[in-house]
Structure 1
Amino acid sequence: MKAVVVATAAAALVGGASAHRNHRAAHQALFEKRGYAEGETCIPGCTTIWKTITGEPTLHTPSPPPKPTATAWPTGPAIVPTPIPQVCPTPGTYTFPATTLVVTETTTVCAASTTELPKGTHTLGGVTTVVETETTVVCPYATQKTENGVVTNVIETTTYVCPSAGTYTIAPITTTVSVPVTTVVIPVVTTYCPGTYTAPAVVTVVETSTVVFCPFESSTPTFAPEAPKYTAPATPPKAPSGGLGGHGGKWAMTYTPYRPDGNCKVASEVLADCAAIAKAGFTTLRVYSTDCDTLPNVGAAAKELGLKLIIGVFVGKPGCDNGSPDVAQQIGAIKAWAQWDLVSLVVVGNEALFNGFCTVGQLTDLIHKCKSEFGSAGYTGPYTTTDVVSSWLNQDVSSICSAIDVIACNAHAYFNAGTHPSEAGPFVKGQLELVVNKCGGGKPGYIMETGWPTAGVCNGVACAGVSEQAEAIKSIKETIGDNVVFFSASDDPWKAPGSCNCEQHWGCGQLFN
């Protein structure tokens, strides 16, 4: 039976992918690793099964032939806009009802991808992952199962040992084509974000025994219904914003307790790392979340070394209402730890607006929620959130500006094609000034991430390299170093290199020894 594709079907996910936001997106991948202590995760996991049911489209011909059979989305909580296969047994014009579907939460399912193949045996699908060393990956993949003559697309998980550095395709499908050219359909793992999706209404069929795929062609991004909003006190207490910043161009360094293979470091390794950062002259460490025993291990090291902490509540998926289990777990962990004498700043969300994980309203509510929760547990210090400059400037963020005590943004001059390493400092300073002015100019501003990679492609005049990093860090340190958090203490070999080939090479701690 020949398959005809009416419009482009969903594309396969490829593990380790990254776009222009390369460095920023790497943080999301970092925190997706929790729960997989013995290996990397190449794509999001899911146990949803895509099933088929029959439908009743209407056929219009002078003499109605048998009605086509339809495959529709499953009922229940996992309703998603997967392309709908319609079996049309005879020539004619078939009218399929237009369908609108609203997805309220990010859902990963099996969907269909298509390709034209010549006669012969072909290997298709699977999941591609790139590793830099011998690595064990835990990898969900799409496949097909046949039971009682019914073919079902399912998502299964496999553990795969990559014996050395390289690119690996895991769990592909082998298919044999016996005719000169045909279009084949393969299952792929596909993630649908919240949004409104619409399927087309009419398809004209001119061939006998044809399968038509009616995909959902358009979507309007939306967010899941928000949880009941937290109402801040009418006159919330003003947290102090003093005590932040450094001297001599050194204040804070980002730190994540991961080994080169991506597994968690133990307390003794964390202490050694933090001691090196303290010896370099930094007074503060910025951590992003509570995973990997960050609070007890980094907290103990900070206490022993006389360092302060910038702690965070990390938002790593769409819909950051304060009822999110992941967010609630972090809030609970921070309250249980409660070593407030070590904390100089709480950062609620890291580029959550840029990644589409929060609306402005949701992030505002989450900041108020954290202020209430941590305040009730004894914290009296300042709060902020941080994002890329465009996310601050391109929308109304006045509610966030009112909710936070200090203004913060992430600014990486390497991603501006017109900035030479020697100009990194003035560039970063100018970016911060834009954000501070956006919030009215009445609160102090700080950079929560800035740095330069030692390896990667040239982005215009912004070239990566060892000497280039030294030049850029020197410029930042001399221009605005007292008010920035440098990224990062060491390289991250466990990250995928990204399209810029720079993701693993932001370590700059050696420049401050």
Structure 2
Amino acid sequence: MKGSAVAAAATLLAGGVSAHRGHGHAQAHKMFERKAYNESTCVPGCTTVYSTIKGTPELYIPTAPPTIAAVPTTTPPPAVVVPTPIPQTCPTPGTYTFPATTITLTETTTVCGAATTEVPSGTYTLGGVTTVVETETTVICPYATTKTENGVVTSVLETTTYVCPSAGTYTIAPITTTVTEVHATVVYPVVTTYCPGTYTAPAVTTVVETATVIYCPFETPAPAPAPAPAPAPVDVPAPQAYEVAAPPPPPPAQEYHAPPPAAPAAVVPKPKKPSPPAYSGGGDLGGKGEKWAMTYTPFRDDGHCKTKEEVYNDIAAIARANFDTLRVYSTDCDTLPHVGAAAEAHGLKMIVGIFIGAPGCSNGNPDVATQIGALKAWKRWDLVSLCVVGNEALFNGFCTPGQLKDLIYHVKSELGSAGYKGPYTTTDVVSAYEQYDVSEICAAIDVVACNSHAYFNGGTLPHQAGEFVKSQLSIVEKICGKKGYVMETGWPTKGQCFGGVTCPGAHEQKVAINSIKDVLGKQAVFFSFDNDPWKKPGDCGCEQSWGCRQVFGV
């Protein structure tokens, strides 16, 4: 579970063992102020990007299924059928079965999709298309925008010609919106491109206790058949550098619910960038004493960003508790400059991250590109001990293993070109490593990592937490054959009990964390520094109450 949005695919992963459940903090990443650090191409390439559909489904799996027979209702897809997650409505409690759905695309299809972000009150610049140019040039860009006609607002695809006067990063045709509510979900149009292939949303059976909406994501398209061999080999000239050609103008704009497919852009692939030097295994990853790292997100109780001074005081407290390292999840809320400055002042290292909080596991995802750009602009690699690409992205159905592997290599190339030579990993719940073939991911990372919370394993008592987390880490180390670290572990002070004996509480938290510290403190990141009242309580009623600073006397 991540915040309150749970994909049906993730529900299947969580269906068996409570210990493998995820821990939610996706909302942290959705509240950031966007900056002009994006790095993506102006012309959509052949990369599958899942559009985020508005809605926050709540799922609760009861211990005994209801006996009510139920019939789901399905929101009809748009006229141009593309593989966005299918919203399935469960109007009453009961057991629901959703049949498998298959969509085949014979050509690259570009539509006007939608993305969402949760923000506090204020004025925000969202969407648009971001391109990086190395010299003065003119680009022709398809972009998504809105039009109002007779009082009806529709999302449409437009084309614009833009003159980039010099080298730099340009965001073209963004949308500015003002939010007056304390918190709001803003929906804005984005250019969404789907590759040719066959997409399948597998059959799902789930049990719901209340009316809810479930999103069934499509799996990665099957690879196209290999072309027939050429009649005879021929000599070809040496490879040259290529650039992505500008696309022809799209057809006249249509309403969002029935846009025609845009003509595929004339794309000539660029040669791949050379891979950065492989991590040599040096450095001081892991703690020297009984503690290593603490997670930190720079948010106030109301969800607004903390000031530089507030961040400094928090980091000073973590340093007083004799931690070596901080783990941050993303680059929002000026995390890099503010946390980085405080970490440097107090002699702490940082675990930095590329956070994926919605379907769209590629550099074409604006949030991902923004984070990569922010890290490249900051480039204080002397403070960084590890880079984590994705947090529970497999469990939540935001990435397939192949997509996550590609993104890890992309991040390695981008940050390597900016001078980072340290280790990379991704982190997920243990069930994700067991459910999927992660061999390619294991090959892409330098160390393996998991998130493990003994609280979710009904029947595990607080004093057993250390041995439980150690056993979970051993599973992923065996799967990947690499040294492992726990990127999240802790115990809440409030929430419901699991299995009748595994309960939250201040005393229970102290016992559990001391157990983890004694058994695995040098390889564990404790979650989290402070409570997070800005989050939703979640099904467990616990999501706001993982703060553990008091256990460490700060």
- 1:412 corresponds to 2:453: yes
Find the aligned partners of 2:112 and 2:511 in 1 and give their Cα distance.
Answer: 42
- Name the structure 1 match of 2:26: 28
**Equivalent in 218, 221, 236 of residue 221 of structure 1:** 218
Contact (CA 8 Å) 1:240, 1:380: kept in 2 or not? Answer: no
Give 1:434's match in structure 2, choosing from 457, 461, 475.
475
Amino acid paired to 2:497: C
Hey, what's the Cα distance between the residues in 1 that align with 2:368 and 2:87?
A: 29
User: Aligned partners of 1:392 and 1:478: how far apart in 2?
Assistant: 26
Q: Looking at both structures, which has the greater relative contact order when contacts are Cα pairs under 8 Å and sequence separation is at least 6?
A: 2
Q: Does the residue aligned with 2:289 lie in a helix, a strand or coil?
A: coil
Which residue of structure 2 aligns with residue 346 of structure 1? 387
Superposition deviation, residue 108 in structure 1? 5.7
Q: For 1:408, what is the secondary structure of its paired residue?
A: strand
Q: Give me the identity figure in percent.
A: 55
1:467 aligns with 2:467: no
> Structure 1 unaligned runs (5+)?
1-14, 38-43, 48-70, 84-98, 110-128, 130-134, 139-146, 163-167, 171-193, 199-216
Q: Equivalent residues in 2 for 1:266-305 (5 A)?
A: 266-305=307-346
| One-letter amino acid of the structure 2 residue matched with residue 451 of structure 1 | G
Instruction: Return closer, same or farther for 1:77/1:393 CA change in 2, 3 Å cut-off.
Output: closer
**Alignment of 1:446 onto 2:446:** no
In structure 2, do the counterparts of structure 1 residues 275 and 492 end up closer, same or farther at CA, with 3 Å as the change threshold?
same
Pair 1:488 & 2:537 matched: no
Separation (CA, whole Å) in 1 of partners of 2:80 and 2:531: 44
Q: Deviations over 1:394-440 (max 9, x none)?
A: 22111111111111111000111121111000000000011001112
Deviation at 1:279, TM superposition (A): 0.3
Indicate conservation of the 8 Å contact 2:219/2:400, yes or no.
no
In structure 2, what is the Cα distance between the partners aligned to 1:509 and 1:428?
20
Amino acid aligned to 1:431: Q
Residues 107-118 of structure 1 correspond to what in structure 2 (within 5 A)? Answer: none
The answer (yes or no) to whether the contact 1:102–1:197 under 8 Å persists in 2 is no
Q: Is the alpha carbon distance of 1:492 and 1:107 closer, same or farther for their aligned partners in structure 2, counting shifts above 3 Å?
A: same
SS at structure 1 position matched to 2:360: coil
Q: Distance in 2 between matches of 1:498 and 1:447?
A: 23
Q: Select which of 489, 494, 497 maps to 2:537.
A: 497
Change (3 A) 1:229 1:276: farther
Q: In structure 2, what is the Cα distance between the partners aligned to 1:406 and 1:511?
A: 29
1:220 and 1:107 mapped to 2: Cα distance?
A: 15
TM-score by length of 2: 0.59
> How far apart, CA to CA, are the structure 2 residues paired with 1:232 and 1:290?
24
Q: Deviations over 1:436-479 (max 9, x none)?
A: 01112xx3211000000001100112100011101100100111
Q: Choose the corresponding residue for 1:260, options 286, 301, 310.
A: 301
The answer for the alignment partner of 2:409 in structure 1 is 368
1:512 matched residue in structure 2:
552
In the alignment, structure 2 segments of 5+ residues that lack a partner are: 36-51, 56-74, 89-100, 124-148, 156-176, 186-193, 203-213, 224-266
Provide the rounded CA distance (Å) in 2 between the counterparts of 1:393 and 1:449.
Answer: 18
- After TM superposition, the structure 1 stretch with the greater mean CA deviation from structure 2, 74-83 or 333-342, is 74-83
Post-superposition shift, 1:249?
1.9
Report the CA distance shift for 1:230/1:354 in structure 2 as closer, same or farther (over 3 A). farther
Superposition deviation, residue 323 in structure 1: 2.8
Write the distance in 1 (CA, Å) between the matches of 2:271 and 2:524: 31
Distance 1:151 1:197 in 2: 32
Shift of the alpha carbon at 1:219?
6.5
- Report if the CA contact (8 A) 1:223-1:319 is conserved: no
Q: Which SS does the other structure have where 1:253 is aligned?
A: strand
- Secondary structure of the 2:455 match is helix
Q: Determine if contact 1:321/1:366 at 8 Å carries over to the other structure.
A: yes
SS in 1 for 2:393: coil
Equivalent pairs counted in the alignment come to: 378
> Does residue 1:457 correspond to 2:455, yes or no?
no
Pick which of 229-238 and 388-397 moved more.
229-238
Which residue does 2:430 correspond to in 1?
Answer: 389
- 1:237 is aligned to 2:278: yes
Q: Against the structure 1 CA distance between its residues 370 and 100, is the aligned structure 2 distance closer, same or farther, given a 3 Å change threshold?
A: closer
Summarize the Cα distance change of 1:275–1:449 in structure 2 as closer, same or farther, 3 Å threshold: same
* Paired letter, 2:423: P
SS of the aligned residue for 1:355 comes to coil
Counterpart selection for 1:356 from 387, 397, 417: 397
Any conservation in 1 of the 2:87–2:216 contact (CA below 8 Å)?
no
Per the normalisation by structure 1, the TM-score is: 0.63
User: Where is the strand percentage greater, Structure 1 or Structure 2?
Assistant: 1
Residues 1:411 and 1:107: Cα distance change in structure 2 (over 3 Å)? farther
Residues in 2 aligned to 1:72 and 1:398: alpha-carbon distance in whole angstroms: 37
Shift of 1:281: 0.7
For residues 255-290 of structure 1, what are the alpha-carbon distances to aligned partners after superposition, in whole Å with 9 as ceiling and x for unaligned?
Answer: 000001010001000000000000011010000000
Q: Quick check: 1:197–1:218 contact (8 Å CA) kept in 2?
A: no
Query: Could you say what secondary structure the match of 2:299 adopts?
Result: coil
Specify whether residues 474 and 234 from structure 1 end up closer, same or farther in structure 2 by C-alpha distance, changes over 3 A only. closer
Instruction: Please tell me the root mean square deviation across aligned C-alpha atoms, in Å.
Output: 4.5
Q: Which residue of 1 aligns with 2:145?
A: none
- Is the radius of gyration larger for structure 1 or structure 2? 1
- Of 476-485 and 368-377, the range deviating more from structure 2: 368-377
Change beyond 3 A, Cα 1:507–1:345: same
Structure 2 CA distance for aligned equivalents of residues 301 and 362 of structure 1: 34
Aligned pair in 2 of structure 1 residues 346, 29: CA closer, same or farther (>3 Å)?
same
Question: Which amino acid in the other structure matches residue 33 of structure 1?
Answer: M
Is the 8 Å Cα contact of residues 455 and 502 (structure 2) preserved in structure 1? yes
**1:246–1:362 distance in 2 versus 1, CA, 3 Å:** same
Letter in 1 for 2:485: Y
